Amino acid sequence: MKPLQGIRVAEFVGLGPGPFAAMLLADGGADVLRIDRPRSPVDGGALTRGRPVLNLDLKKDAGRGLEIVRAADVLIEGFRPGVMERLGLGPDDCRAANPGLIYGRMTGWGQEGPRAQQAGHDINYLGLTGALRSFARAGQAPVPPLNVVADYGGGGLLLAFGILAALQARTTTGRGQVVDAAMVDGVSLLMTGIWSRRAQGRWPGKPGHNELDTGAPFYDVYATSDGCYMPVGSIEPQFWARLQQGLGIDLPDQWDRARWPEMKQIVAEAFATRTRAEWTTVFDPLDACVTPVLDLAEAPQDAHLAARGTLVSAPDGPQPAAAPRLSETPFAPGSPDDVEETLARWGVPA
């Protein structure tokens, strides 16, 4: 048995974060049906795993979509505000047909506000919230952290969390509700720790000069002699001491900010004397929060990831395993039924 077994989810296909939320629910055992445009190419890989696709032209047959919604517990959509309303599938329409429906809305800017109708991507939401400006070394331009922070962390995960919260509330109230998940909100939540440091005077604000943004010698990435890298996260004093032990150097007080540039130079020069493999051998037994940087081709071969089964094999290559790990009702990717079988199980004519 899986934790979300028996929950039916109608996923009106959008980009990135919506399918990611649906994937998480499907891994948890929810019965998810993807509803996509006719002749739309089916995305491959993990984002679409565990659920069949029904191709449906909602502009011509919104009534068919409403039939499916009547049988669902959850709806997920990621269009701009107003699109579903114009199709006759907005929250009012759907909840009139199904009062217990959890209506999950995934956008970048949210359902209201001056930018609500603007287009945007991960990089834009990071930029407006102050997050992107914080991902920078001193004197350098910000570096976008792929599209994982706003799209998947502040977007898909936030939507999945909101849906689960609404499902739990429904057990008490008997009513559904709308989940307005906006990536600008999610990114801001993910930055809570940095906002807290700023309030405490521990984050001056100038990028590349703070304890977690490569400003400190104990939290940075250093090049090795073979052109690879070692990330250092030796924040606590015991790890700071073991970092120096492993490198064979003696450094000043780690919180002497005025000397951080000098200490960073010393640490960088030390790491540049050996290969990544040699430094891994040195630091693995020291427990100093110093580990190797692996690329995507190397990660599946890592002993720790392999032991946990963090990445699993799939026909088109490695993909992340289902997570988190529940001891009694574990998550696991499912194999999608035929779309006709899913519709029949939902009581919707094929």
Q: What is the pLDDT of residues 183-192, one digit of tens each?
A: 999 999 999 9
pLDDT computed for residue 122 by the predictor: 97
243-275, pLDDT tens digit by residue? 999 999 999 999 999 999 999 999 999 999 999
Helix ranges, 174-298 (H): 183-190, 192-199, 237-247, 260-271, 276-283
As a whole number of angstroms, the longest Cα–Cα distance in the chain is: 74
Please, what is the average pLDDT of the chain? 95
pLDDT computed for residue 90 by the predictor: 97
Q: What is the C-alpha to C-alpha distance for residues 314 and 46, in angstroms, rounded to an integer? A: 9
pLDDT computed for residue 81 by the predictor: 96
Token pair listed for 189 = 């939540």
**What mean pLDDT do residues 338-349 have?**
91
Instruction: Please tell me which residue in 93, 121, 302, 337 is annotated as part of the active site.
Output: 121
Task: Indicate the pLDDT class of residue 44, thresholds 50, 70 and 90.
Answer: low
Q: Is the pLDDT of residue 350 over 80?
A: no
CATH 3.30.1540.10 residue ranges for the chain: 219-223+229-283
Three-state secondary structure call for residue 72: coil
Superfamily of domain 219-223+229-283: formyl-coa transferase, domain 3 (3.30.1540.10)
Q: Is the pLDDT of residue 148 over 70?
A: yes
**What mean pLDDT do residues 87-114 have?**
97
Concatenated DSSP letters of 4-28: TTT-EEEEE--STHHHHHHHHHHHT
Three-state secondary structure call for residue 164: helix
Tell me if residue 151 is catalytic: yes
* Residue of 337, 336, 340, 333 whose CA lies nearest to 55: 340
User: Is-contact 106 18, C-beta < 8 A?
Assistant: yes
Percent of the chain residues past pLDDT 90, beyond the cut: 89
| C-beta pairs of 107-110 under 8 Å, 24+ apart in sequence | 107/78, 107/80, 107/81, 107/180, 107/181, 107/182, 107/183, 108/150, 108/155, 108/182, 108/183, 108/184, 109/182, 109/183, 109/184, 110/180, 110/182, 110/184, 110/185
Cβ-in-10-Å burial (0-12, 13-18, 19+) of 265 comes to: exposed
**What mean pLDDT do residues 197-205 have?**
90
pLDDT computed for residue 182 by the predictor: 98
Judged by average pLDDT, the poorest of 23-37, 219-233, 251-265, 334-348 is 334-348
Q: What is the C-alpha to C-alpha distance for residues 106 and 123, in angstroms, rounded to an integer? A: 16
Q: Is the pLDDT of residue 282 over 90?
A: yes
C-alpha dist (Å) from residue 73 to 41, 175, 204, 274: 26, 11, 47, 57
Q: Is the pLDDT of residue 294 over 90?
A: yes
Q: Is the pLDDT of residue 205 over 80?
A: no
For the entire predicted model, the pTM comes to 0.94
Max mean pLDDT among 21-35, 36-50, 53-67 falls in 21-35
* Residue of 151, 109, 123, 165 whose CA lies nearest to 23: 151
pLDDT computed for residue 293 by the predictor: 98
Tell me if residue 121 is catalytic: yes
Q: Is the pLDDT of residue 204 over 90?
A: no
Q: What is the C-alpha to C-alpha distance for residues 242 and 234, in angstroms, rounded to an integer? A: 8
pLDDT computed for residue 108 by the predictor: 97
108-141, pLDDT tens digit by residue? 999 999 999 999 999 999 999 999 999 999 999 9
Task: Report the CATH number of the 8-190+319-346 domain.
Answer: 3.40.50.10540
6-18, pLDDT tens digit by residue? 999 999 998 889 9
Q: What is the C-alpha to C-alpha distance for residues 126 and 134, in angstroms, rounded to an integer? A: 10
Percent of the chain residues past pLDDT 70, beyond the cut: 99
pLDDT computed for residue 14 by the predictor: 86
pLDDT computed for residue 43 by the predictor: 63
Instruction: Please tell me which residue in 151, 180, 185, 213 is annotated as part of the active site.
Output: 151
pLDDT computed for residue 159 by the predictor: 98
Q: Is the pLDDT of residue 40 over 80?
A: no
CATH 3.40.50.10540 residue ranges for the chain: 8-190+319-346
